[in-house]
Structure 1
């Protein structure tokens, strides 16, 4: 198991957000439909390609914002032009001229409980260009399929969400609807480098006036489970584990192999703990799982409250939801010897700093060196209450797909929602898109792409979500 930057990031995102867990968890049998369904409209492919939001996404994908270096100047210029056209005021802020932050605000009728639509402009590096069917920053339609796929780095992580956020605000402005509360649009840099202090964190700390009244954020991280090309479950992310990651080095391979075995033993000793949000999540996803564990996790108190002999064989995708976890990759040759990546994840109630301190002690005892790559805040669930939560879930429950709506937990991924929750904001991972697991897996690999009719469908769904929020009392 390789645990580089891919593995510690979005292991279960996108509709946006992180991929391995989605691949394992979302290999379900076809579930029996629980009631009548409203037929979803069939898209005219040419109409989808002509859609205004599609043209904006093509333009956005053609702007190279790969991180490193993560320049966002051209992207901000695009947003300035688009918001100028809608008459929505904005500011460009930040202290790095190469990586500015864009903040726009539409005023509402009443103060308080403002909503921020957040997305990041920077994208993951494209990797081997020779393996892309289309250049990663060309914004071109695929030529190898009979389906209208739009290729480009950021197509699902997360320029698609940025365009959907803009489109929803533009539709409010064009229709003359004045929202009941303020709605704020933020396009931030430096998310892929896990530096919230250079993006939304900079705004919070240095220009809090731009977020005046904001209590809620819609961000990446939502996971929609797609079966037979239809959304069966809208998953709203409300919790992700705390985490740190490091690269440990040694002159030879043997000390790192010993460390790997030691950490595996320590991981097995970590106790199971049931968090209310995880219990709800397991019951939400359990019915769609075709394996034994999908049935067992429907009754988590019974499963984990006994010394069930099957627990040692539980797949990690379930185990990581109910315990703190330690992961160690395979030692590989590196400059000066060998290196191995180590990642830890922590449930609410566990201290990331304390866990890191314990790890530092283990390394010191063995005379091993390390390079700390990232450290998150402690895990904390976001409250499921308030106007934004109620409007979001109501809009999804009324969606023409008839899909179920529930909470989602990310056990091995990171978004800036963690940082925001630590500051007391309510932050929800939201995806309006129908993205199957095969396409979701391409978020940080070659040939990232989105099916154009599904993109348009998601853009219009985001419009309905924001309109539901804007017109609520």
Structure 2
């Protein structure tokens, strides 16, 4: 099983499934990945359903039937598309799937062809063992960017595929960070921050740079608004997920964490802080600014974009405060997806934690808030509680966060092998 996971990951990486974000320039790599997965599962007797909104953007949905048709079903989802990669920037060919220095190298190695490969390998092993789950398990390989041809398309046009599904696992969660020689913390995604991309437009007077005053200058007005936004300190949001994190992380460490000094407490934990801190509060990051065409001409309009990531449960109040920070005279257009928050305790999380400890006795699972956005945004609209659980036992000091969309993306072979065993153990309890 572990060997298959490595080989499947390499083969998936070798299929260039780059998603440029433009249907005209995105090829058929996703369909080729899904077809490869379909052939591997068909060898075990599992036949999937194929759904394609656009040629080349294939979605595969496979249901493993359980012994109790009345039991709530579980969804396991993963996407096969990847962001672009420039060969000139990489140490190896980003679509080679090369194994070097104990790593599988290539675009998608951690985002997220590793999880897709682990899932396929674990399912094949379960089928070899003659395992029949108690509840139906639904597996989805789709595409991610906005989900127009993947998760969102399936939810909107084929919701019957997810009949009975109440819980789901997917990306960004289940990876380990070593705190001590005898303690590795595995972060389990129980919540996901909201996404609100704001496009700001300021309008003013067009004229000569020596004449138009700053109170009529669109660039000055928009710059002042961005300064207020970027300097604002968003407060800690102690919702159910963060409260559970504080409590369970303290239990794992053997000492309570001081909630009044949470940032300092996290700083003392080294690399763990970089993964946990973004989930504690809302963030607003200006990302683009466009205005003008000549040094001595004041433009009549200025535009900017702000990437806002909203603490779970605060979507509505965030917008009110954001508009106050902007001030008058700024137009705003939003592209958004609301925050998600699933229960931070229960049988599913207990099964994740038990599977981790069974494979890695030094491992402890704790909940955390994911700062990125996943296909869970789409699946949650069906009332599904979504969790991040793509298990990997990572080596100490491995820059896991830097691998996402990064140059020389790679996943440790041993992490993939251990993750496959954890996932197999978890699925065998469902």
Shorter-chain TM band: 0.7 to 0.9
- Which residue among 354, 365, 374 is the counterpart of 2:328? 365
Give the CA deviation at 1:397. Answer: 3.2
Change (3 A) 1:319 1:451: closer
Cα distance in 1 between the residues matched to 2:87 and 2:293: 26
More strand by share: 2
- Which residue among 61, 66, 70 is the counterpart of 2:18? 66
Give the CA deviation at 1:351. Answer: 2.8
Matched, 1:240 2:192: yes
- Would you say the 8 A contact 1:106–1:184 is kept in 2? yes
SS in 1 for 2:369: strand
TM-score by length of 1: 0.72
Aligned to 2:393: 434
- Would you say the 8 A contact 2:5–2:121 is kept in 1? yes
Matched, 1:175 2:134: no
Matched, 1:159 2:113: yes
Matched, 1:274 2:238: yes
Change (3 A) 1:382 1:339: same
Change (3 A) 1:442 1:230: farther
Aligned to 1:9: none
Cα distance in 1 between the residues matched to 2:109 and 2:293: 35
RMSD: 3.3
Aligned to 2:170: 219
Aligned to 1:39: none
User: Any unmatched runs of 5+ in structure 2?
Assistant: 21-25, 203-216, 263-272
Change (3 A) 1:94 1:350: same
- Which residue among 393, 413, 418 is the counterpart of 1:457? 418
Greater Cα offset, 233-242 or 414-423: 414-423
Give the CA deviation at 1:156. Answer: 0.5
- Would you say the 8 A contact 2:229–2:322 is kept in 1? no
Give the CA deviation at 1:236. Answer: 0.8
SS in 2 for 1:391: helix
Change (3 A) 1:389 1:367: closer
SS in 2 for 1:124: coil
SS in 1 for 2:340: coil
Aligned to 1:186: 140
TM-score by length of 2: 0.79
- The structure, 1 or 2, with the larger RCO (C-alpha pairs under 8 Å, 6+ apart) is 1
Aligned to 2:315: 351
Cα distance in 2 between the residues matched to 1:197 and 1:327: 25
Cα distance in 2 between the residues matched to 1:460 and 1:172: 11
Aligned to 1:341: 305
Query: Which has the higher Rg, Structure 1 or Structure 2?
Result: 2
- Which residue among 52, 57, 77 is the counterpart of 1:118? 77
- Would you say the 8 A contact 1:89–1:106 is kept in 2? no
Greater Cα offset, 247-256 or 115-124: 247-256
Aligned to 1:396: 356
Matched, 1:54 2:18: no
Deviations 1:362-413 (A, max 9, x none): 7693356x665x4112x23202455433322222233333211211112x32
- Would you say the 8 A contact 1:277–1:407 is kept in 2? yes
Aligned to 1:22: none
Give the CA deviation at 1:451. Answer: 1.6
Deviations 1:338-376 (A, max 9, x none): 764312232333235x645775787693356x665x411
Matched, 1:199 2:140: no
